[in-house]
Structure 1
Amino acid sequence: MRHGKVVTFGEVMMRLSTPGFARLAQAGSFDVVYAGAEANVAVSLAHLGVPAEHVTRFPENDLGAAAVRTLRGHGVATERIVFGGERMGLYFLENGAAHRASRIVYDRAGSAFAHIAPGMVDWDGALAGAAWLHWTGITPAISQGAADVCLEALQAARRRGVTVSGDINYRRNLWQYGKTAREVMPALIQLTDAIVAGVGDLENCVGITGATYEEACQRAMEAYPNVRKVASTEREVISSSHNAISGVMWDGERLLRSKEYDLIPIVDRIGAGDAFMAGLIYGWMAGKDDQRALDFATAACAFKHAVEGDVNLAAPAEIEALVRGENVGRLLR
């Protein structure tokens, strides 16, 4: 295993889920967890045995303290979290079933993280002893301050020789502060070594298209020479309860594919992409070649669909067993 911790940066929100498969209009209570795309990666990595630290900004109140305890409870370091602002971002989840889609309602405007600003985080300190830094396209979409601090983090990582990965997922509804993704994302991708991106992400974030996925990826690598790997998941949705998932990766010369997993019934698909990203980071840090890293990441993504909450609570042996097709659905005792 490559030495050094993985540092992730992004907002952590309170997730309020309806019990079972109740609709939001039916809810008399909510189940509460704390999660965010980048923190989900950190937690997944911690459960895979990789030292992980998350950097974010919380309000200095009981909710911020509860979120910190949650991260620490999963073994994620929190020493560089900063505090300030007045509120925790929220999101409400209604789990779909059969042919009724899942729904998310966000309430995150004006959160403590949205008001983060350059200079608040000591990035040289946060990245001391780090081997890897991970970010997502959600963070620079939240506010100008969040975008500026994300760039600040990536620049510090390049100075220190830290590998950088980015899941550049495009969230159209988040870009509300006067900048577009195409104005902000190129400078961040230029400082990134490996990205997770679909064709739509590349088009919306940097204006790159292609007749095929590999053509779009190759054009992205030509435009951003630091990017050496581009990966993504491919999902077939049969219903809310039944999906199929596989993984692809362009390594600059060839398109790698994982096997496909049939997912039925789905317990919770939120955070599956973060499980995929954590699986890639784990695979590469463990010295796996690209095909084996992709196979591990896709199995991790598939495993997450059977875990409640946003994070993939899985040990390496469980994922490796799924890669081999062992213990699927069996009672282990």
Structure 2
Amino acid sequence: MKKVVTFGEIMLRLATPGYQRFIQSTNLNATFGGGEANVAVSLANYGIPAQFITRLPQNDIGDWAISELRKYNVDTQAILRGGERVGIYFLETGAVARPSKVVYDRAHSSIATIQPGSINWDEVFEGAQWFHWTGITPAISQEAADVCLEAIQAANRLGITVSCDLNYRKNLWKYGKTASEVMPALVEGCDVILGNEEDAEKVFGIKPEGFDVTQTKGHVDSAAFESVCVQLKKRFPRTKKVIITLRGSINANHNTWGGCLHSDRLYESRRYDITHIVDRVGGGDSFMGGLIYGLISYPQDDQKALDFAIAASCLKHTVYGDFNLVSVKEVEGLMGGDGSGRVSR
């Protein structure tokens, strides 16, 4: 089977235990995570060869990050070594009416100073069928954006499917350019676009009428986003499929979760009621990993691909850490209606 390649930053994640606040915590749990790395781990768990490309410092923390990826059978052989440091993010998990908080410490990370021309993308893409990136990578630095564009252009030239998760993060765009200035040139090369209720509006000014993300009260109408999908496909003619994840936030521990996919028509997923969230960080990445698996495994069945992605990401909300450590069998079990949580003996 041909491989999937992802490109982006992997960070050290330092999280307060349980629901403790930063100010009261005396220790932090250390794991790793990052949008494109999270997708690679999901795909490797599903049996799809996955290769992650990044740049990490030549030190013990860089070695640690690579070791974590290898633990989950992600191909790390083309990771560049160099630069000053591994980026860090600090996480305080919210509860009920108190939202989670993320504090970034990733300035001058190794990938932020990556140089155009430093990766031979033709070599990396040998034996590849798919390339995935997110809007987080071009937000890190101009250099990271330039290298991401190199990858997209190479993938287009080689006939490789390209997907992106728009993943708008306002706190990352700090180097003098906005997402609206940088992202269009990259998204033009994408065959599959994923976003949430806000991404298309924040990056491209495209939004559904009469929708306020802060006032969902647990329900988001997928039909309202058909116009968003159509507008995105019109703006980016190469794009064949646009997918929107739909999160209804009742409180920090209780969300509804669903999605819609527009290709030849609008497909809608079932809606999950997630009442006791363990960890929602990486939820969108777990959806993307499930979607890529579904589109590769069920190429003529967009509904099944969407259903697999939603079920996979629903399960991710029960798993601590950024990585979605579930199997195809577990996802298919939930797709088939087994959400009882009974002990498997």
Fold in common (TM above 0.5): yes
Q: CA deviation at 1:240?
A: 1.2
1:224 and 2:236 correspond: yes
> Residue in 2 aligned with 1:247?
259
> Residue in 1 aligned with 2:317?
305
User: Given the two structures, how large is their TM-score scaled by the length of structure 2?
Assistant: 0.93
> Residue in 2 aligned with 1:261?
272
Alignment of 1:162-177 (within 5 A): 162-177=160-175
> Residue in 2 aligned with 1:296?
308
Greater alpha carbon shift after TM alignment, 198-207 vs 295-304: 198-207
Which AA in structure 1 matches 2:153?
A: Q
Measured in 1, the distance between the counterparts of 2:199 and 2:64 equals 33
Greater alpha carbon shift after TM alignment, 219-228 vs 294-303: 219-228
> Residue in 2 aligned with 1:54?
52
1:238 and 2:238 correspond: no
Q: Could you give the per-residue CA deviations for residues 235-288 of structure 1, whole angstroms, max 9, x where no partner exists? A: 11111111110111111x422111111112111000010010011100011025
Greater alpha carbon shift after TM alignment, 287-296 vs 59-68: 287-296
Measured in 2, the distance between the counterparts of 1:178 and 1:158 equals 28
Measured in 2, the distance between the counterparts of 1:257 and 1:206 equals 23
Among all aligned residue pairs of Structure 1 and Structure 2, give the percentage whose two residues are the same amino acid.
52
Measured in 2, the distance between the counterparts of 1:245 and 1:58 equals 34
Measured in 2, the distance between the counterparts of 1:210 and 1:299 equals 25
> Residue in 1 aligned with 2:291?
280
User: Given the two structures, how large is their TM-score scaled by the length of structure 1?
Assistant: 0.96
Coordinate RMSD, CA, aligned: 1.2
> Residue in 1 aligned with 2:67?
69
> Residue in 2 aligned with 1:36?
34
Q: Could you give the per-residue CA deviations for residues 70-116 of structure 1, whole angstroms, max 9, x where no partner exists? A: 00111000011001111110001111122221111111111111111
The verdict on how the C-alpha distance between 1:210 and 1:23 changes in structure 2, with shifts beyond 3 A counting, is: closer
Which AA in structure 2 matches 1:234?
A: L
SS in 1 for 2:13: strand
> Residue in 2 aligned with 1:325?
337
Measured in 2, the distance between the counterparts of 1:202 and 1:327 equals 32
Alignment of 1:29-178 (within 5 A): 29-178=27-176
Which AA in structure 2 matches 1:35?
A: G
Greater alpha carbon shift after TM alignment, 34-43 vs 21-30: 21-30
Q: Could you give the per-residue CA deviations for residues 162-184 of structure 1, whole angstroms, max 9, x where no partner exists? A: 10000011111111111111111
Contact 1:60 1:84 in 2 (8 A): yes
Contact 2:197 2:245 in 1 (8 A): no
Contact 1:199 1:216 in 2 (8 A): no
SS in 1 for 2:164: strand
Q: How many residues align?
A: 330
Unmatched segments (≥5 aa) in structure 2: 210-223
Measured in 2, the distance between the counterparts of 1:273 and 1:209 equals 19
SS in 1 for 2:103: strand
